[in-house]
Each structure stands twice: as C-alpha cells, then as structure tokens.
Amino acid sequence: MLVMGTSLGGLFADQVATECATRAMAGASLGAVIINLQQTEQDHKMSLKFSGKSDEVLVGLLAELALPPLPKALHMVAWPPAERVLVPYDANGKRLAEGSVGPRMWLDLRRGAPVRLSKQHNHQGAKQPNSIHVGSRKGQKFHGKPIPNAGEAPGLGTSMGRDEKTASVKLSIEGVTMRLGIWWMEAAARGGPPMLPVVNAKPEFEGSRSETAPNKAPAAAGAAAQRRGSGAGSNRSGSGGSAKTK
C-alpha cells in the first residue's frame, strides 16, 4: 500500500492504509509506505516513511530502479467532451448482465440535469459533517446532536456542469457540492464498473419517445434547484436530442 500526500488524519478511508500497516506489524503483509511532507500519527505503523514532496521522491525512485526519467513535457489526458452518453446500466445504476438485450440508459450530466446518488453511496459510513445528512434516518444524531433534515435527504440534486480545470463534473447533492471525475463518463459508456455512483432522477432509455424530442438543455431546472439551496428534486428529465453523445 502506497500512501502519498495525506496526513491520515481521521477519514474512514484512512483504514485502507492503516489496516494494511497493522497486518504487517503482525507479519501478515508487507505493509504500507508513506510519502508526506509532515509527520502523521500513523508513521510508526509504516514499513517505510519518506519525508518530502511526492513528485521528488518518486522521481528519485525512478533513478534508484534504473528506469527512464520522466519526459519534460508530460502527456495530458484529453477526455471526450461528451456530457450525455448511452450506458449499459439500469435505472438504479446497476450494470446490465452480459448478453442482456435490455435498452441502455442515458446518463445525462449536462448542467442542470436532475440526478440522484445510487443507493450504494457511503455518506453515513464516511461520517463527514457536511454530508452526514445524505441518506440519514429520521431522528438520527451525529456526535450526540440531531442531524438537520435527517431522513429528508435521500441524495437528490442537479449537475452543475463540467469543470475542465479539475477534470470533473460538479454536482449539487442535497445542498452539498460534490465532484464526479470526467473519466466516469467513459467508464460508464463501456460498462466498466458494476455500479454507477450517480444516475438521473428520471432516467431515460434507448429508443424512448423523448429520445427524438427537440433538444432542450436542462439548465433552467438546475437554476431553480440552486435557488432552493438544496439542489434536490426536479420534474425536468434533462433529455436531449437523438445524438448518442452531447
């Protein structure tokens, strides 16, 4: 396990590294290696600890392994501009079985498109204060205090559009800004992951009547949702024209 650029300061995701390191202390694995500028509370559990910038340490590692140095001009990945694609998934974001003749679903992440998180999201498990209300139960508490809007935030929202600078699609989910990597569009189109993290609130499918309807961008729906502050709920489906990608 290689850990770079994080203090391992308390996120539940830190367990990916710390549990590996703990197993190594018992002789059950090779353990974890950490590269970080600062000390962390988990340094003593690591098999190796490097203090420095990740780029500098890894460049040094290339030389140590007698591998070619990095080119001066790094190749930048150019992701397809599609924001609406046909994907082999059902309405809940589950990949269709191999050989299925079921219609593919439109995944529309254009600005203003109403979306919802798939049921497999882990906001309760992540226990982050800004999103603990997403997927919460009525009357639920966090750190002994009632969670605002508990039981009323299933994970609805809107797409805020593509952000090339961060290579992501910004989402407003139950009043919280989230990001979905642009590469998810390509991965979804080829049916890579078994589940999608987000689908449209009212998904449309290949061959539906609305597929040939006039192209109407769903920006108005998104603007209205943003004014409500929660980003949740909209009756607009965000359907587009008949082109396979937009």
Amino acid, single-letter form, for residue 219: A
Q: Is residue 239 part of a domain?
A: no
Q: Is residue 25 part of a domain?
A: yes
Q: Is residue 241 part of a domain?
A: no
- Does 126 share its domain with 34? no
Q: Is residue 245 part of a domain?
A: no
Task: Cite the beta strand spans of 37-144 per DSSP E.
Answer: 48-51, 84-87, 105-108, 114-117, 141-142
- Does 57 share its domain with 90? no
Q: Which residues contact 142 (CB under 8 A, 6 or more apart)?
A: 127, 129, 132
Query: What distance, in Å, lies between the first and last C-alpha atoms of the chain?
Result: 39
User: What is the count of structural domains for the chain?
Assistant: 2
- Does 88 share its domain with 127? yes
| Structure confidence at residue 70 (pLDDT) | 82
**Residue whose C-alpha is closest to residue 245's, from 101, 111, 106:** 106
- Does 39 share its domain with 153? no
Q: How far is CA 67 from CA 34, 70, 77, in A?
A: 21, 9, 22
**Residue whose C-alpha is closest to residue 94's, from 165, 17, 195, 236:** 195
- Does 94 share its domain with 210? yes
- Does 23 share its domain with 135? no
User: CB of 181 within 8 A of CB of 167?
Assistant: yes
| Structure confidence at residue 29 (pLDDT) | 87
- Does 60 share its domain with 115? no
| Structure confidence at residue 229 (pLDDT) | 41
Residue with tokens 């603007």: 223
| Structure confidence at residue 218 (pLDDT) | 55
Q: Is residue 234 part of a domain?
A: no
Taking the C-alpha atoms of residue 119 and residue 97, their distance in angstroms, rounded to an integer, is 19
| Structure confidence at residue 202 (pLDDT) | 95
Q: Which residues contact 229 (CB under 8 A, 6 or more apart)?
A: 175
Other C-beta atoms lying within 10 Å of the C-beta of residue 220: 12
Q: How far is CA 72 from CA 1, 55, 68, 75, 79, in A?
A: 28, 13, 12, 10, 22
Pairing of strands 114-117, 198-200: antiparallel
User: CB of 119 within 8 A of CB of 92?
Assistant: yes
- Does 147 share its domain with 207? yes
Q: Is residue 71 part of a domain?
A: no
- Does 204 share its domain with 119? yes
| Structure confidence at residue 211 (pLDDT) | 58
Q: Is residue 159 part of a domain?
A: yes
Divide the 246 residues of the chain into consecutive groups of 10 and give the mean pLDDT of each group: 85 85 89 91 91 91 90 78 94 94 95 94 87 94 92 96 93 96 94 96 87 49 41 34 39
Structural domain that includes position 109 = 84-228
Helix (H) or strand (E) holding 34: strand 33-36
- Does 92 share its domain with 203? yes
- Does 134 share its domain with 180? yes
Tokens matching residue 41: 């509370």
